Amino acid sequence: MTSQAVARQSGFAHELFLHTSTDEMLDFVIPFAQEGVAAGEPTLLAVRAATAAAVLNGLGPSPYLTVLPVIGQPGRPASDLRATDALLADYAAKAPRVRILNQEPIVPAEHWHEWRRLEAVVNLALAHHNAWGVCLYDRHTLTAEQANDLCAMHPLMWSGGQHHTNNRYQDPAEFISKHANAPPDSVEQTAPTVELTDPSPATARATVTGCTQHSGLPVAEVEGLILATNEAVVNAIVHGKPPIVLRIWTQPDQVTVTVTDTGTGPTDPFVGLLPPDTAEGRGLGLWISHQLIHVTHHRHPDGYTIRISANHGDEPGQDRADSR
């Protein structure tokens, strides 16, 4: 498949490129940008400084080329997705097609569960955009499992100097349903600082507030933790089954909260990533929680647990564009 063929596709073309060297990566990125500029397509590159310099040296400035800042840490998936949707919508009003390329961060193992949910759901969430999104990953930074996951989440792949339809791509809902449960955090194997049974939302908020009072965490992290805990307790009361157990672990650099009930939890594999589509706005609070704080879900023989974590490393930075 040629670049021209991909560029002519309607809808969102989501492509994966696993590179093994800087030269191999630039051999893709520079022509990708050149072709976009030549076609008069807004071309957005979220790349590291060295990559940006190489592209700008090769192309020079252009009104069709935008280099966006990229952070070294993975962002919050729900927030990344919302920002990308808004960015593409803005450019769609100015041009029939947009190119967007991301030089992806190294994703720590503890964040991979939510990251792969994000890579899968973008195929649905951004399908209404006429855009070509490319995700660049350094193969050396990935485990075999992570590389296999990425191959299952991208309908297109670049390999052997060509664009290919990816026969390893899986239906997003089916893939994520197979990987619905986040792995437990090691802190959950230790005694919690606080444990409450059947707390009211007000009690839950007050308890989290007390536990974070001297934590030194960023204000935004604390506020997100309190809001998300409140939402988790309310959902457990309304939709779950008692008893409801709130546990809090305080550590020097992190506060972790879990809310467990004996119900089955949400059935939506993309819970928290996509805004609710019901007229009542059901699920809105959980979606907002995912924008603000690190949230994961786990179903187990005893019921369902939502885990919310705040730490110094998750302090929000500048939104970055994303091919998701």
The residues near 313 (Cβ < 8 Å, ≥ 6 apart) are 73, 253
For 186-314, CATH number? 3.30.565.10
Per-residue pLDDT at 120 = 95
Per-residue pLDDT at 1 = 76
Phi, psi of 87 (to 5 degrees): -65, -45
Domains 3-178 and 186-314 share a fold: no
**Beta bridge mates, 110:** none
User: What is the assigned CATH class of domain 3-178?
Assistant: alpha beta
Per-residue pLDDT at 209 = 97
Q: Which two tokens stand for residue 259?
A: 């809310």
Per-residue pLDDT at 268 = 86
In tens digits, the chain (324 residues) has pLDDT values of 777 778 677 799 999 999 999 999 999 999 999 999 999 999 999 999 999 999 999 888 899 999 987 766 667 888 889 989 999 999 888 888 999 999 988 888 888 999 999 999 999 999 999 999 999 999 999 999 999 999 999 999 999 899 999 999 999 999 999 988 898 899 999 999 999 999 999 999 999 999 999 889 999 999 999 999 999 999 999 999 999 999 999 998 899 999 999 999 988 888 888 887 765 556 788 889 999 999 999 999 999 999 999 987 644 443 344 443
Domain residue spans in the chain?
Answer: 3-178, 186-314
The residues near 53 (Cβ < 8 Å, ≥ 6 apart) are none
